[in-house]
């Protein structure tokens, strides 16, 4: 199954796999961003892996961790029927990850969404701008430190609009 793919990558790039684990048969490898493009290209082009289908790209914010973000990529092979998850740690200070849009065209909009919500910039992306939010929006709302009650309206509220109700109180954790 996918374990064979992980072994394949480890054999080919012994120094590019920072760690790997599986959860109920779903294999994950953690790859430094400097090596991401060659690893993904290898996964796509090697017959034993044949990851021809780009499933998903998203991001996770780990506040307090260094590096703070994980870019998470899911790939699937139609001929082999197996999957793999690739995680790429990205630090907050230099929040850049190489773009996969040159390898999988489908990655284009996923990377724009990750940029829109988390502010991770994708190096080499053909058209990196916000995809869901409007251009006037400031900040990245799915970062854990984005204020929960922060609003960025495009239309100014009417002067006689009813008052905003108080937000729900914070629950103790």
Partner 1 sequence: MGGMTGGGGDQGKAPPAGVLALKADQLFAWARKWSVFQYPFVTACCAMEFMSAMCSHFDMSRFGAEIPRWSPRQADVLWVVGTITHKQAPVLKRIHDQMCEPKWVVAFGTCAAVGGFYDNYATLQGIDKIIPCDVYIPGCPPRPEAVLDGLMLLQEKIGRGDPSLHQQAAAGDVRKAG
3-state secondary structure 24-70: CCEEEEECCHHHHHHHHHHHHHCCCCCCCEEEEEEEEECCCCCCCEE
Q: Which lies closer to partner 1 via its Cβ, residue 129 or residue 151?
A: 151
Q: What is the phi/psi pair of residue 56, to 5°?
A: -160, 150
Our finding on whether 129 is near partner 1 (CB under 8 A) is no
Residue pair 22/3 in contact (Cβ under 8 Å)? The answer is yes
Q: Which lies closer to partner 1 via its Cβ, residue 1 or residue 157?
A: 157
Q: Which lies closer to partner 1 via its Cβ, residue 64 or residue 165?
A: 165
Q: Which lies closer to partner 1 via its Cβ, residue 66 or residue 138?
A: 138
Q: Which of residues 132-171 bind partner 1 (CB under 8 A)?
A: 133-134, 141, 146, 148, 150-155, 157-158, 160-162, 164-165, 167-168
Q: How far is the CB of 113 from partner 1 (least distance, A)?
A: 13
Q: Give the single-character DSSP code of 134.
A: -
Counting residues that bind partner 1 (by CB under 8 A) gives 20
- C-alpha–C-alpha distance, residues 95 and 173, integer Å: 30
Q: How far is the CB of 165 from partner 1 (least distance, A)?
A: 8
Q: What is the phi/psi pair of residue 110, to 5°?
A: -65, -40
Q: Which residues contribute to the site for partner 1 (CB under 8 A)? A: 133-134, 141, 146, 148, 150-155, 157-158, 160-162, 164-165, 167-168
């Amino acid at each position: 199954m996918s374990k064979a793919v992980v072994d394949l990558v480890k054999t080919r790039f012994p120094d590019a796999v920072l760690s790997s684990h599986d959860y109920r048969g779903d294999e994950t490898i953690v790859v430094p961003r400097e090596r991401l493009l060659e690893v993904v290209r290898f996964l796509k082009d090697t017959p034993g892996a044949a990851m021809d289908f780009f499933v998903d790209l998203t991001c996770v914010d780990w506040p307090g961790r260094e590096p703070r973000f994980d870019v998470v990529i899911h790939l699937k092979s139609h001929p082999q029927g197996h999957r793999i998850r690739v995680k790429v740690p990205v630090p907050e200070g230099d929040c850049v990850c190489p773009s996969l849009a040159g390898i999988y065209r489908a990655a284009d909009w996923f990377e724009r969404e990750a940029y829109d919500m988390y502010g991770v910039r994708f190096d080499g992306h053909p058209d990196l701008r916000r995809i869901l939010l409007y251009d006037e929006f400031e900040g990245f709302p799915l970062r854990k430190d984005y204020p929960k009650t922060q609003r960025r309206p495009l239309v100014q509220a009417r002067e006689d609009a009813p008052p905003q109700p108080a937000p729900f109180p914070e629950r103790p954790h």
